[in-house]
Amino acid sequence: MSLSASAEYSQWLYTLEKKLKNRLNDSALIVTRNETKRLYIAVACENQAKKKVSFEIKEALLDIYSSDAKYHYYREHLNLPLLSLEKYNILLAALVEFDSQSDRSLIKDTFVLENGLNIDGVYNFAFRTVKSRWQEIGELTKENASFLSDNEIFFELIKYLFSAICPKIERALCLFDGSKYLLYEPGTTCPIAEAYNEEELFCALIKTAPICLELSGNIEKDVMIKLNTIFKNDERNISAH
């Protein structure tokens, strides 16, 4: 099976390649080819692995369409000049993850996996219903943009969006070592994310969306207040030690 994307969306194809190599291991041969205006990825496997490989290709595409493509959409259509770049990036991270499972269900019905699939063509021409959802949320955000420069209101909005994000992990430990934040799943030694500033920390937490967050280290008071705003609710909790 061969799929392609225009050069403008090359990162999507590289992400697809990485996801497939991680998920398929040695059960398929994956080859990419770059041309001037388009990039191609070809996937080949034995007949007995076809069902599994096809499933993983579609799942990887759904990941990209509900995350990378959604981010691309908001970067193009959501201009908020009153927000600092740091807040804008945190808000984008939250909007991308917000209700992404519903997006995924809608997107699943917009394309059929077949040889020659045009990845960016699906996004540009088959996403009418999905994009209307994104547009509605974007317009609502624009209408209230003047209030978002207020820290308290901004993080209340992030809290609301965060509450609708499906958790990727149940529990996370956030350790500040004096120079960076390290996110771990309890009982592991390899961090799932590293953050060198407040923006990167919040984006990492939004992406993983743990139910419980444990804090360790000398975390700044201002960061603690913001984390408490987001995590202290009926669905999620936070603790420090």
Per DSSP, helices labelled H in the chain are: 10-24, 50-66, 68-77, 85-97, 100-108, 119-125, 128-143, 151-163, 198-208, 221-231
Give the C-alpha separation, 237 to 163, whole Å: 11
CATH class of 167-240: alpha beta
The pLDDT value given to residue 186 = 85
At 217 the pLDDT is 87
Angle between helices 221-231 and 151-163 (to 10 degrees): 40
Q: pLDDT at position 174, please?
A: 93
Q: Give domain limits for the chain.
A: 2-159, 167-240
With a cut of 80, say whether residue 233 has pLDDT above it: no
Dihedral sign, Cα of residue 21, residue 24, residue 29, residue 31: negative
Q: Tens digits of per-residue pLDDT, 11-29? A: 999 999 999 999 998 889 9
Secondary structure of 28-70 as H, E, C letters = CEEEEEECCCEEEEEEECCHHHHHHHHHHHHHHHHHHHHCHHH
- Predicted local confidence at residue 239, as pLDDT: 86
**Averaged confidence pLDDT in the chain:** 93
At 51, the pLDDT band (50, 70, 90 cuts) reads very high
With a CB cutoff of 8 Å and minimum separation 6, the contacts of 208 are 167, 168, 169, 172, 183, 192, 193
Place of tokens 């995924």: 104
Helix, strand or coil, per DSSP, at residue 3 = strand
**Residue range 154-205, pLDDT digits in tens:** 999 999 999 889 999 999 999 999 899 999 998 899 999 999 999 999 999 9
Give per-residue pLDDT as tens, 66-122: 999 999 999 999 999 999 999 999 999 999 999 999 999 999 999 999 999 999 999
pLDDT band at 231 (very low <50, low <70, confident <90, very high): confident
Which residues, listed in sequence order, are joined to residue 44 by a DSSP beta bridge?
29
pLDDT value for 234: 65
Residues near 143 by beta carbon (within 8 Å), at least 6 away in sequence: none
